[in-house]
């Protein structure tokens, strides 16, 4: 039996992390840490106002008593939003885990801060209704024909508690590590390897030693940028994959894409407890890549009991070398070949994928399997 581990599988949006998730589903000693069988991502740490945003303020030399208090308030608001609302592919902690999540949040907040009586120092432009001022202004209008302005104070204090929060780095990381451990345990499904989809971004893998327990690892999935660029521009954000009017995640201008890609990609090579793999290697170097993952997670080959059930290299190959589908596309990605040459995957051989076998929805996947079966029956 493999020892208990927490594993985050992540990528750069569309780079193939779901393929690794599907592969790991095939092992008997691996659990997918999700409350629903469908796609579910763990966004609590990097969600706007989440733990990483809080750390960027509380550990900053520019922090103040006021900014720290506001950061704590936003952290609590974010936690409540994720706890109370089920967004389908993230959140819904109260529905799935009861009071466990907010208990961890409250314990973390009380460890690093002290709630004080009195009002928050923050104030915003708004109207606080005043009956007395309304009467006076109406009287002035009747007697002196004076114009009525706003019927109340314009500057109002935010009705949130004030938190004194000025922890040292050691105090913050100690409390944060316990908070994250509580989250990992809440979502886990027993012993063995518990896999978390997109618990953090690749750029945040440097925070492992500070925020996570020793039995935590990360698998980062990378992909050839030529395919990512074309799929992002022509396929992922168009029907039937997306609703009409969907906005692509990456720039659709090839020069802007190249610039953003270089700024976004983080080199995880050689990082402790971090494994970097290419999505394409799962297809073209399947046995070697699977062995690397098994060694990284201490998985037994005998426990790969559902091989090819969830991840099938023979159909995933149709999602590679997309740029070879047309001469126009080959010309369009020419700048990527030169500007992102060090990021390209070196394919062992050239092939043109079958576009009708692409899949990004359950219906498409069913059609793919039907077509594959027909082809096998006719061969």
Q: Are strands 114-116 and 162-164 parallel, antiparallel or unpaired?
A: antiparallel
| pTM recorded for the entire structure | 0.85
Instruction: Report the pLDDT value the prediction gives residue 177, as an integer from 0 to 100.
Output: 98
CA distances from 62 to 51, 54, 65, 130 (A): 18, 13, 10, 37
Q: Which two tokens stand for residue 64?
A: 């103040």
CB atoms within 10 A of CB 344: 13
> Domain coordinates of the chain in residue numbers?
123-157
Q: What is the largest CA-CA distance in the chain?
A: 97
Instruction: Report the pLDDT value the prediction gives residue 124, as an integer from 0 to 100.
Output: 54
Q: What is the mean pLDDT of each run of 10 residues along the chain (379 residues)?
A: 88 94 97 92 97 98 93 97 96 97 99 82 58 71 70 60 94 98 96 96 94 97 97 87 85 98 92 96 98 97 96 94 96 98 98 80 48 50
Instruction: Report the pLDDT value the prediction gives residue 372, as an integer from 0 to 100.
Output: 47
């Amino acid at each position: 039996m493999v020892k208990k581990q927490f594993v985050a599988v992540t990528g750069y949006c569309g780079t193939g992390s779901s393929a690794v998730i599907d592969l790991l589903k095939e092992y008997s000693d691996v659990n997918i840490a999700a409350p629903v069988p469908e796609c579910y991502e763990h966004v609590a740490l990097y969600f706007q106002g989440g733990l990483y945003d809080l750390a960027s303020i509380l550990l900053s030399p520019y922090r103040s008593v006021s900014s720290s208090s506001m950061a704590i308030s936003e952290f609590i608001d974010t936690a409540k939003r994720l706890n109370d609302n089920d967004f389908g592919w993230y959140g819904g902690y109260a529905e799935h885990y009861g009071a466990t999540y907010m208990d961890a949040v409250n314990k973390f907040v009380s460890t690093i801060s002290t709630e004080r009586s009195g009002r928050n120092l923050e104030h915003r432009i708004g109207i606080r209704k005043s009956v007395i001022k309304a009467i006076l202004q109406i009287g002035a209008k009747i007697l002196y024909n004076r114009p009525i302005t706003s019927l109340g104070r314009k500057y109002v204090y935010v009705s949130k508690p004030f938190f004194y929060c000025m922890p040292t780095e050691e105090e913050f990381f100690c409390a944060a590590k316990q908070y994250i451990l509580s989250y990992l345990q809440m979502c886990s499904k027993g012993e063995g390897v518990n896999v978390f989809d997109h618990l953090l971004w690749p750029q945040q893998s440097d925070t492992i030693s500070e925020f996570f327990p020793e039995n935590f690892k990360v698998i980062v999935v990378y992909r050839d940028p030529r395919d990512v660029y074309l799929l992002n521009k022509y396929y992922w954000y168009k029907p039937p994959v997306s609703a009409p009017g969907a906005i692509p995640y990456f720039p659709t201008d090839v020069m802007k894409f190249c610039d953003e890609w270089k700024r976004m990609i983080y080199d995880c090579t050689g990082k402790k407890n971090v494994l970097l793999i290419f999505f394409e290697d799962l297809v073209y170097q399947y046995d070697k890549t699977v062995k690397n993952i098994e060694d990284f997670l201490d998985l037994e080959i005998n426990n790969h009991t559902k091989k090819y059930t969830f991840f099938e290299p023979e159909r995933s190959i149709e999602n590679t070398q997309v740029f070879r589908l047309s001469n126009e596309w080959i010309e369009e990605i020419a700048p990527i070949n030169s500007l992102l040459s060090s990021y390209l995957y070196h394919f062992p051989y050239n092939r043109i994928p079958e576009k009708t076998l692409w899949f990004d929805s359950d219906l498409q996947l069913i059609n793919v399997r039907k077509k594959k079966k027909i082809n096998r029956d006719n061969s």
